[in-house]
Amino acid sequence: MSSAAALPDVIRDIERVDPDVVRQAGSFASSILADVAGRRGALHGRIAPLARSMRFAGTAITVEVRPGDNLMIHAAMAIAKPGDVIVVDGKGDLSSALMGEIMSQQCVALGIAAVVIDGAVRDVTAICELGFPMFAAGLNPNGPTKFVPGRLNHPISIGGVTVCPGDLVVGDADGVTVVERDKAASLLPLAAEKVAAETRRIADIRSRKALAPAWLDGALRAAGVLKAGESL
């Protein structure tokens, strides 16, 4: 029997991103982190915040459920620590909600930073009034069942991205970006440089100093749109 086969369905202890790294990452937009991560790590756009004002940064508690059953989300909430983000592979199923107001209230009381679900939720007005960062693929009034087994803190696939327990997760109005735990700290200075460069670019646009990006002609020549030595 392989070691992977011997892993329990529920893994309680995981290694998390350093809290200071999470705090610093939370100051950057999800798009900035996705850019400096190599334009990767962003979940499919179907997974969106219930309100555009919602934003978060935290470490992933990964959950795999069967469509329409939230038993393992309750288990995840029971083992989560303050600052964790519950990330749920709900198989993209929108036939019933996996979470609503009561569980969101519980998450707030537990100090859970956010929930990200590739599935449906409900009680959207109450959750928005609560201000709890809830990112989901859709809405449905139907309630879930609570008796199908699943797994906690195993690697999952959600929104086209592999998420491992303890990874950095950042979300805002644009969506959710996931960064591998071991890479998170190294991306912070790159993110700061990216923000500074974009700030300069916007200033040059506003002042009309540079209305077209400096790289445009070179990229067009490399693509064969312009001939060598030709410019727009």
Is 171 within any annotated ligand binding site? no
CATH architecture of 9-182: 3-Layer(bba) Sandwich (3.50)
- Is 79 flagged in the annotation as binding? no
87: its two tokens: 């990330």
* pLDDT for the residue 5: 60
pLDDT of residue 66: 96
Strands 84-97 vs 175-179: parallel, antiparallel or unpaired:
unpaired
What whole-number distance in Å separates Cα of residue 33 and Cα of residue 42? 9
pLDDT of residue 4: 52
Q: Is 127 annotated as a binding residue?
A: no
Which parts of the chain sit beneath pLDDT 50? 1
Is 102 annotated as belonging to a binding site?
Answer: yes
Predicted pLDDT at 17: 96
Mean pLDDT of the chain: 95
Give pLDDT, residue 229: 85
Consult the annotation and say whether 89 binds a ligand. no
**How confident is the model at residue 1, as a pLDDT?**
43
Domain definitions of the chain by residue range: 9-182
The answer to whether 103 is annotated as binding is: yes
